[in-house]
Amino acid sequence: MNLVLVTQVLDRQDAVLGFVVRWVEGLASRVGKLRVVALEVGDVSGLPDNVDVRVLGRRGFLGRYLRYRGILKEAFADDGFDTLLTHMVPRYSTLAAGLARRHKVGHFLWYTHKGVDKRLTRAVEVVQKVFTASSKSMRVDTPKKTVTGHGIDLQHFQPGSGSSPSGGRLRLLSVGRLTPAKDPLTLLRGLALLVERGLDVELDWAGGALAGGDDAYGEEVAREIQTLDLGQRVRLHGAVAYPQIPELYQRAHLFVSGSRTGSVDKVVLEAMACGLPVLTCNESFVPLLAELGGQAEVLGFKPGDVHGFAQRAQTLLELPADERGGLGADLRAMVARDHEVDALMGRLVQEMGGAA
């Protein structure tokens, strides 16, 4: 199999898509040749010898479309590439459909988001399979949906060298854009309630703005921090480069997520891989955590429920260190079993017709 992978960004340092380089490394070891087509390219040092990269750029829709068609035509007609996988951008699957069909190229899409629009439904029509992390991570009802789990790099996301953080304030961590979908306001109000109850606790938030509207919402979040008198207890780190993000997980006592995206959030799995207990309102994690039995209930809260969040957070923060460490070890083991990056790359190649 010779594979073309289309993605938005290829850059080891990217705060959101830095993991894609690890995907490339895992895929490259399982295919003959791999060509990455990206809108933006940054740090791609150390890529395998059988990988080459083409840059689309973001400027000019018509010019980008023509460059994309030219890159694909060269790959399929001249360079022997026989399989196409598009990562998270359904439009690029749709635009490639004619060329893929003409050259008898295997055509696949990876997509994880609860939103369904015409661009996604059109892409589903033209691809052979849609890979997704969980049954609720791609909500078009189609036999083409193939649930594979996420791909977490367990070498990158590891527990800290110590057993668990100790000393100083208790530290909550959340990772993601400051948007209404991530609901930081519930977490902030829950933090204020924990402080009111006498807990010496603080919150780190890692995540920058990706869209213009995010900046305005970020200002609303900043005002709420001041209103709740949390200025000395909340740190907004902005975008954190992918190589540096594990350190934040390792320094935290509890990962918290108010995300209402409805799909299995990769950042929660990253926290679990670091042996960090998690508290999330995301419905997709209910079946994933069910095997923990009674422990699973304390890891979840209802969306927007400030008091429920604060109560569960307090319970988890007050666990003895050995119990918290044992829970973290169980969570890491679940990620290793069901969401490990090389297992995912092997599964994708196999599902696309190659040898895993």
pLDDT at 213 > cutoff 70: no
Residue 162 included in any domain: no
> E strands along the chain, which residues?
2-10, 33-41, 51-55, 83-87, 106-110, 129-132, 145-147, 170-175, 201-206, 234-238, 254-257, 278-280
| DSSP assignment letter at 305 | -
Q: Are residues 202 and 321 in the same domain?
A: yes
Q: Are residues 11 and 145 in the same domain?
A: yes
Mean pLDDT of 311-332: 96
Look up tokens 């400030």; give the residue.
306
Q: Are residues 136 and 184 in the same domain?
A: no
Look up tokens 């350190």; give the residue.
247
Q: Are residues 308 and 203 in the same domain?
A: yes
Q: Are residues 100 and 214 in the same domain?
A: no
Residue 174 included in any domain: yes
pLDDT range class, residue 260, cuts 50, 70, 90: confident
pLDDT at 209 > cutoff 80: no
Q: Are residues 199 and 51 in the same domain?
A: no
Mean pLDDT of 238-244: 96
Provide the residue range defining the domain that includes 276: 170-338
Q: Tell me the C-alpha distance between 352 and 356, whole Å.
A: 10
How many domains are contained in the chain?
2
DSSP per position, 163-195 = SS--SSSEEEEEES-SSGGG-HHHHHHHHHHHH
Contacts 24+ apart (CB under 8 A), 42-46: 42/9, 42/10, 42/11, 42/12, 42/13, 42/14, 43/11, 43/12, 43/13, 44/10, 44/11, 44/12, 45/12
Cα distances from 118 to residues 80, 115, 196, in angstroms, run 32, 10, 47
Look up tokens 């007609």; give the residue.
77
Q: What are phi and psi of 327, to 5 degrees?
A: -65, -45
Residue 42 included in any domain: yes
Residue 165 included in any domain: no
Per-residue tokens: 298: 């304390």
pLDDT digits 0-9 by tens, 46-98: 999 999 999 999 888 899 999 999 999 999 999 999 999 999 999 999 999 99
Q: Are residues 57 and 192 in the same domain?
A: no
**Can you give the CATH number for the domain in which 62 is found?**
3.40.50.2000
Q: Are residues 205 and 143 in the same domain?
A: no
Looking at every residue in the chain, the average pLDDT score rounds to 94
pLDDT digits 0-9 by tens, 94-110: 999 999 999 999 999 99
Q: Are residues 145 and 200 in the same domain?
A: no
Q: Are residues 283 and 180 in the same domain?
A: yes
pTM recorded for the entire structure: 0.94
Cα distances from 242 to residues 14, 32, 267, 306, in angstroms, run 6, 28, 11, 30
Residue 140 included in any domain: yes
Percent of the chain predicted with pLDDT > 90: 85
Q: Are residues 178 and 323 in the same domain?
A: yes
Q: Are residues 118 and 216 in the same domain?
A: no
